[in-house]
């Protein structure tokens, strides 16, 4: 084969810089659309503690909302410090037992190891059967700059156990009030995961819808798979942030492979908007909204504390799914109660740290508050390994 034929047969893999440049026009179009929809603002509650009806309506119309300035600078600083510490104490690779300083890694004694890795700029889930096969199309995986490590931390679990500030965040009164308005006063937790998109290295999350349980349920509706918050610890940009396709939460199961094929095989799906935030902003994304994020070929870090909530009736009696599918657990009332107790303990942990802030009253634990104070004994009983009781659907 002559040299020309060889170069036609094997196109050069995309470099990090070429990937970044190739995103520019798509990012600009997404920002224009996001500005037109303008689905953002402060987290406003009514006098009786409901999420403002205008925000509820906007959320149900578009399948997402950006709450601006929810987390104050002091709390962001505490969260950054704890997340940074968690990152520093990660094992140096998926099989390693020590961190970069040679110390025993955090979480070796947790029931579920709290770290997941990706190849730099890789797509660990797209086009695989992992997580119920919900990421059907693989994203492009540019080649990182020289000197990149073999693996990078992609996800960190167990923030309520590993990060004191993470537990306090979980008890945030306004975020819980909004969860109550969307999912009802008996709302229940889902799980939590910290997405880490390191500059020039962070992997992509292929387009997907989160929910896997209720697509064929005769009682299916646009809220049946709940929603996720993402608390942003750093300003986000179109290059590193989460993207959503507004309105897709209403349309049932999306044919994502078909959408990519109809787009000429390009992952730059039309009609998507970037959720660009400042530090301390919080996004709320319906778990049925088509969403994803691209390889972080940009120079900016993103750390997003992600935690979700469901209607109780969406999880009661359901079988474990997604990252805990292999447990084959059924979510009975006891499991729901045990996992929901994390919310009540978080409320008290927050109240102890911020006594001047009105505490949220979580209806399922009304009258049980004394049993779920934040103490060392309760930490061991409720918080340690709490994520073995996640309620993924
Ligand atoms: O933040 C990201 O990049 C992905 C988040 C996501 O897919 C999710 O929360 O389900």
User: 305 with 192: CB under 8 angstroms?
Assistant: yes
Higher-confidence residue: 338 or 132?
338
Whether 352 shows a pLDDT value over 50: the answer reads yes
Which of helix, strand or coil describes residue 158?
A: coil
- The pLDDT assigned to 334 comes to 98
- Rounded to the nearest whole angstrom, what is the distance from the C-alpha of residue 214 to the centroid of ligand 1? 20
Distance 285 CA to ligand 1 centre (A): 9
Residue 206, ligand 1, Cβ within 6 A: no
**Which residues, in sequence order, are bridge partners of residue 330?**
319
Is pLDDT at 61 greater than 50 in this prediction? yes
Mean of the per-residue pLDDT values for the chain?
A: 96
pLDDT band of residue 1 (cuts 50, 70, 90) is: very low
Residue 315 has pLDDT above 70, yes or no: yes
Q: Is the CB of 312 under 6 A from ligand 1?
A: no
pLDDT at 247: 98
The angle that helices 53-62 and 173-183 make with each other, rounded to 10 degrees, is 60
Interval 142-170 mean pLDDT: 97
Q: Is the pLDDT of residue 52 over 50?
A: yes
pLDDT tens digits along 320-334: 999 899 999 999 999
Phi and psi angles of residue 164, each rounded to the nearest 5 degrees, phi first: -55, -40
CA distance 391 to 321: 8
Mean of the pLDDT values across residues 377-386? 98
Fold of domain 20-317: Jelly Rolls (2.60.120)
User: Which pLDDT value is given to residue 21?
Assistant: 97
Q: What is the spatial distance between Cα 169 and Cα 163, in angstroms, rounded to a whole number?
A: 10
Whether ligand 1 lies within 6 angstroms of the CB of 242 is answered as yes
Q: What is the mean pLDDT of residues 48-67?
A: 98
* pTM tops 0.75: yes
| Nearest protein CA to atom 6 of ligand 1, as residue | 292
**H/E stretch holding 341:** helix 333-353
Does 322 sit in the ligand 1 pocket, CB within 6 Å? Answer: no
Q: Which two tokens stand for residue 27?
A: 């990012």
Read off φ and ψ for residue 155, nearest 5 degrees. -140, 145
pLDDT band of 6, cuts 50, 70, 90:
very low
The vertex-305 CA angle with 300 and 309, nearest 5°, equals 145
Average pLDDT over residues 371-376: 98
**142 CA distance to ligand 1 centroid (A)?**
19
The pLDDT of residue 155 = 97
| Ligand 1 atom at minimal distance to the Cα of residue 195 | 1
pLDDT tens column, 92-134: 999 999 999 999 999 999 999 999 999 999 999 998 888 878 8
Report residue 10's pLDDT band, with 50, 70 and 90 as the boundaries: low
Q: Label residue 8 by pLDDT band (50, 70, 90).
A: low
Q: Which residue has the higher pLDDT, 133 or 216?
A: 216
pLDDT at 12 over 80: no
Does ligand 1 lie within 6 Å of residue 304's CB atom? yes
- pLDDT (tens digit, 9 = 90+) per residue, 255-306? 999 999 999 999 999 999 999 999 999 999 999 999 999 999 999 999 999 9
Do residues 340 and 360 lie in contact, with contact meaning Cβ atoms separated by under 8 Å? Answer: no
Task: Examine the pLDDT at 5 and tell me if it is beyond 60.
Answer: no
pLDDT for res 137? 86
- Residue in the block written with tokens 């499991």: 335
205: CA distance to ligand 1 center in Å? 7
- Determine the Cα–Cα distance for residues 252 and 249; give it in Å rounded to an integer: 7
């Amino acid at each position: 084969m002559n040299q020309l034929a060889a170069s036609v047969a094997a196109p050069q893999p995309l470099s990090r810089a070429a990937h970044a440049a190739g995103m520019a026009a798509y990012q600009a179009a997404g920002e224009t659309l996001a500005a037109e929809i303008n689905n953002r603002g402060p987290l406003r509650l009514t006098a009786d503690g409901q999420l403002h009806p205008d925000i509820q309506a906007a959320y149900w119309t578009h399948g997402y909302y950006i709450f601006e300035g929810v987390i104050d600078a002091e709390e962001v600083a505490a969260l950054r410090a704890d997340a940074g510490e968690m990152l520093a104490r990660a094992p140096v690779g998926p099989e390693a037992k020590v961190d970069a300083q040679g110390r025993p890694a955090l979480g070796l004694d947790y029931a579920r190891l709290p770290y997941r890795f990706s190849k730099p700029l890789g797509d660990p889930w797209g086009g695989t059967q992992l997580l119920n096969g919900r990421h059907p199309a693989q994203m492009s995986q540019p080649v990182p700059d020289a000197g990149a490590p073999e693996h990078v931390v992609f996800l960190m679990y167990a923030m309520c156990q590993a990060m004191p500030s993470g537990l306090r965040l979980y008890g945030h009164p306004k975020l819980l009030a909004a969860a109550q308005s969307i999912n009802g006063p008996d709302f229940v937790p889902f799980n939590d995961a910290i997405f880490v998109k390191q500059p020039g290295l962070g992997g992509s999350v292929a387009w997907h819808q989160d929910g896997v349980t209720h697509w064929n349920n005769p009682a299916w509706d646009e809220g049946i798979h709940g929603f996720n918050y993402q608390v942003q610890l750093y300003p986000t940009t179109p290059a590193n942030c989460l993207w959503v396709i507004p309105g897709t939460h209403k349309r049932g199961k999306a044919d994502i492979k078909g959408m990519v094929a109809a787009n000429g095989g390009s992952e730059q799906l039309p009609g998507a908007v970037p959720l660009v935030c400042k530090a301390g902003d919080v996004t709320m994304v319906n778990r049925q909204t088509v969403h994803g994020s691209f390889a972080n070929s940009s120079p900016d870090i993103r750390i997003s504390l992600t935690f979700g909530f469901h209607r109780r009736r969406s999880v009661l009696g359901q079988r474990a799914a997604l990252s805990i599918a292999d447990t084959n657990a059924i979510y009975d009332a006891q499991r729901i109660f045990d996992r929901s107790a994390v919310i009540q303990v978080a409320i008290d942990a927050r109240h102890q740290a911020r006594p001047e802030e009105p505490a949220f009253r979580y209806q399922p634990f009304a009258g049980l508050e004394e049993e779920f104070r934040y103490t060392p004994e309760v930490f061991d009983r409720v918080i340690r390994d709490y994520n073995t009781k996640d309620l993924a659907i």
